[in-house]
Chains A and B, each alone.
Chain A
Amino acid sequence: MQVFPKSANYWSRGSIIAGLFVLASLGWVILTIQRSDFVTQANQFIEQPVQFSHQHHVGGIGIDCRYCHTAVEVSTSAGIPPTKTCINCHSQIWSTSPYLEPVRASFRDDTPLQWIRVHDLPDFVYFNHSIHVKQGVGCETCHGRVDRMPLMLQKSSLQMEWCLDCHRNPSQYVRPRDQITTMGYQVPDGTTQAELGAQLVKAYNIAGVEHMTSCSVCHR
C-alpha cells in the first residue's frame, strides 16, 4: 500500500532546505537583536536629575572635557565632577535658575547629585580611561559627538566585538595626543588616517595584535 503520494519526495527534500533556512534566519534574528540598541542601550537619551547639556557646555562654550573630567588622564574612571565644579561658574551665571536648584541644593547641603549612569561595562571587563587617552584614543572615538548631545547618551554598543574592532587594528582610530579632546577631529591635510594612524601606533608604542587581543588584557 502506498501511503505517500509521489510528490512527497519533493516535499521531504524541500522541508530539509526550508528547515536549514529557518534555523539560519533564527540565528540571524538572535544576533541582530543582540546587537540592537534595545539590548545594548545605545543611542537612548537618559533623563537625569539635572538636564545638563554637553552640547551647550562643550559645543557652545568650548570647555575642554578635562575641565570637569579631571581624572581621565590618570585614572581608570574619567571622573564625575563634584558639584563645586558647577559652582565655579554657576555661583554667578544662571544662579537663580530653577533648573539649577538641585545643583545649588547639592552644594548647600553637601550631598551629591545622583546622576544616572549612562556607560556601564560589565564587571568582568577591566577598562582604564588613562591608557586609552595616553595612546591616542580620542574621547570622540568612543563617546561620539558629545558636543552635539543635549543629554548624554551612549554612542557605541560597548560590546566585545566593538572593543576588538579597535584592539585588532588601532591605526584606524588613534589620533595625536594633543587632539584627544577635539570634537569633530579631522586628519590633517596631506595625510590619511591609515598613514598617520600607523605612524602614531609606532610612535606611541601601541602593543601588537597578539597582546591587544589576548583575553587577559581586558578580562583580568
Chain B
Amino acid sequence: MRRNLFVVVLLALGAGACRQDMHDTPRYEAYESSAFFADGKAARPTPTGTVARGWLREDETLYTGRANGELVAEFPFPVSQADLQRGRDRYDIYCTPCHGALGDGQGMVVQRGLRRAASYHQDRLRDEKVGYFYDVVTNGFGAMQGYAEQIPVRDRWLIVAYVRALQLSQHATMAEVPADRQGALDNPPPKKAETPAAH
C-alpha cells in the first residue's frame, strides 16, 4: 500500500511538466506564423474591396474630409468638451513626437533629425479648413506619413479639433479669455515631474 502511494507521488512529480499541449493549443494567436499559408502569416489579408456589413464608407465628409471633392470647413459631427479632451489625449500620443505639445513643430523626433514639422501657428494653417487637417492626418503631407492605420476616423477628427484649440491658444488676447478663467492663467498648473532623460 505504502509502496503504491510512493509510486503515485513519484509519477505525479515526474509527469507534471512533461507535456505542453494545453499551453500551446493548435489555434492561432495574434501575429502567429502559419506553416499552412504561402506567405507564412496566420492573419489573412482581406481581398481588395472587401466591406464588412454596415461599414461601407458612404459618408464622404466623415471619411475623406471633403464634400463633392472640396475640403470642408465644418466638422462632420458636433464636438463636445469631452471630445476635445480625447482629441488632446490622442494628439499627445500621435502628434507630439514631431509637432510638439505646443504644436510649434519642435517635437523630440524633430530635435533628433527629422525634417522640421509644420508649426500650426502660421497664417497659412490658421486659415486652412478643418477638412485639410483631416486629410493630412489621413494621407500625410511632405515628409509626414499618413496615420490612417494608427488612428481611427473619429479620433482623427478630434485631433483636428484639438489642433484648432492649440491654434486659438497661441493666437488669442487676454480679452478673449472668459472673465472667470483669467485668474487661472496667472497660476499655471504645475508641470509634470517626469521629463524624459537623454539617451
Contacts and interface: CB of A to CB of B under 8 A. Distances in A.
B109 interface: yes
Contacts of B94: 67
A157 interface: no
B23 A89 contact: no
27 contacts: A55-B199, A56-B199, A59-B197, A60-B197, A60-B198, A60-B199, A61-B109, A61-B112, A64-B96, A66-B93, A67-B93, A70-B150, A76-B30, A82-B149, A85-B149, A87-B145, A88-B145, A91-B145, A111-B39, A112-B41, A114-B33, A122-B23, A123-B24, A123-B27, A123-B29, A124-B25, A147-B196
A108 to B, nearest CB: 15
B123 interface: no
B126 interface: no
A77 B31 contact: yes
Given A64-B96, A122-B23, 13 more contacts: A70-B151, A77-B30, A80-B31, A88-B145, A89-B109, A93-B113, A112-B41, A122-B22, A123-B23, A124-B22, A124-B23, A124-B25, A178-B89
A30 interface: yes
Given A87-B145, A123-B22, A186-B193, A61 B33 contact: no
A62 to B, nearest CB: 4
**Which has the most chain B C-beta neighbours within 10 Å: A89, A93, A122, A178?**
A89
A194 to B, nearest CB: 21
A62 B92 CA distance: 11
Nearest to B27: A123
A106 interface: no
Interface in B74-92: 89, 92
Nearest to A64: B93
B148 to A, nearest CB: 10
B73 interface: no
B interface bracket (residues with beta carbon within 8 Å of A): 35 or more
A81 to B, nearest CB: 8
Contact of B149 (A56, A84, A124): A84
Given A60-B199, A61-B97, A84 B33 contact: no
Given A93-B114, A123-B27, A124-B23, A67 B198 contact: no
A184 interface: yes
Interface in B27-41: 27, 29-31, 33, 39, 41
A59 B114 CA distance: 18
Given A85-B150, A88-B145, A59 B22 contact: no
- 4 nearest A-B pairs in the assembled complex, by CB-CB distance: A60-B199, A62-B196, A77-B30, A122-B23
